[in-house]
Amino acid sequence: MSWRLLALLILALMAVGTGGYVLIEGWSIWDAFYMTVITITTVGYREVHTLTRAGEAWTIIVLLTGVGTFFFSFTLFMTLLSEGRWTERRERKRLARMLDELTDHFILCGYGRMGEIIARELTRHRVPFVVVERNPDRMHLAMDQGYVAVEADASNEDVLRRVRIDRARGLIAAVSTDAENVYAVLSARLLKPDLFIVGRAETDDARAKLKRAGADRVISPYHIGGIQLAQTALRPAVVDFVQLATSSENLDLNFEQVHITDRSSLAGRNLLDAGLRQRFGVVVVGIRRADGRMEFNPEPDTTIRAGDDLVVLGRAASLKDLEGAAGGRNGQRERATS
C-alpha cells in the first residue's frame, strides 16, 4: 500500500467519523470533528457532549477502525525504514530533481579508470555533467564522490532522454568496450544530430566505426599514450612545456580554444588590428576555421572570421576577457590538448 493511499484512508476515516457524529448526535461539524480526532488518537479526553447509546456504538466503531489504521501506518513506516525503502525513495526523488535541472551539461558514459579522470577534469573546470554507468558498484562510487550518476545502459535511448540529452552540451563515450561506445554514440546522434560527441576507441576498426556512428572526435588512449612516450623521449623540453600549459593544476598559464561568434567585435578583423597580444596578453597559436582546417602560427594579417576557433596561450584572467570579446562561451568550447 502506498503512502498516498494510506493518507487518503485516514482522511476518509476522519470524514466518515465526523459525519457519523453529526447525523447520530446532531452535533456541529467542529464538535464532531474534535470528537473523531480524540477518539482515533486515544488521547483520553472526556466526550464533547453526552453520548446516546447509538453515539457510544459509533465511537466504538471509530475507535477500533482508527487505532487499527494508525497501527498499520506505524508498522508500514517502520518497515520502510528498516528495509531502506524510505531512503531509496528520497534518493530517487532527489536524483530526478537533479536530472530535471541539468542543462548545458556533458553526459559521461562509463565510470572506469578513464571515466574517473574525465570526471575530475570536468569538475575542475566547473562544467556540469552526469555519469551513466551500468555497473552498480562503479555508479555508487561516482555518487559517493559527489557526482550525479545513473545506473543504466548508455546506449538506451530512454536513458539518454532521462539524462536530458535534449539540453546537453556534449557526450563522452568512455565505456570499457568498443561495441558499447559505438552503440552509445549512434543512439546519441540519432536523438540529437547537433550534439558534440567524443568517443573512446581501443582499435583502429573501432575508430572507423565510431566515426561512422557519428562521433565528432575519436580518442585512442593507447595511440595517444604511445605518441606521448615517444615525444617525451625525443623532445622532453617541448613535452614539459605543453604539459605545463595544458595541466588543470596550472592556474597561471593555459591553452584554450575560444570560439568567435557572429556577434563578436573581433570577427572580420585581422590579428594585427585586433591587437590580441596588446589587449588581452594572449598568443594565438593557431586558428581552426569553420570548415575544420587548422592554420598554425598564423600571420599578423590573417583575418579572424565568425565561426573560427582561436587556439591561444595565456593566463586564465586574460582568457576570460578574450572569451567575452569573442561573444561568450560556445557550447563546444574545450580545453586544447597536447
Q: Is pLDDT above 60 for 337? A: no
* pLDDT value of position 335: 36
- CATH code of the domain containing 145: 3.40.50.720
User: What tens digit of pLDDT does each residue of 216-242 get?
Assistant: 999 988 888 888 889 889 888 877 777
Regarding whether 112 and 79 lie in a shared domain, the answer is no
Cell for 202?
581501443
| Residue numbers of the domain that contains 205 | 102-224
Are residues 220 and 260 located together in one domain of the fold?
no
Place of cell 596561450: 313
Let me know if residue 53 belongs to a domain: yes
pTM of the prediction? 0.61
Q: Kindly tell me if the per-residue pLDDT of 248 is higher than 80.
A: no
Whether 39 and 118 share a structural domain: no
Q: Is 168 left (phi over 0), alpha (psi -120 to 50) or beta?
A: beta
Average pLDDT, the chain: 84
Whether residues 58 and 116 fall in one domain: no
Over residues 256-268, the mean pLDDT reads: 88
- Number of Cβ within 10 Å of residue 233's Cβ equals 9
Higher local confidence (pLDDT), 81 or 243: 243
Residue 131 is predicted with a pLDDT of 94
The residue among 211, 208, 176 whose CA lies nearest residue 197 is 211
Domain end: 83, 114, 148, which one? 83
Q: What is the mean pLDDT of residues 304-312?
A: 91
Mean pLDDT of 266-274: 89
| Residue 33 resides in a domain | yes
CATH number of the domain to which 273 belongs: 3.30.70.1450
Structurally, how many domains does the chain consist of?
Answer: 3
**Per-residue pLDDT tens over the stretch 58-96:** 888 888 888 777 777 777 766 666 655 555 566 667 777
Interval 54-58 mean pLDDT: 88
For 162-209, what is each residue's pLDDT tens digit?
Answer: 899 999 999 999 998 999 999 999 999 999 999 999 999 988 889 999
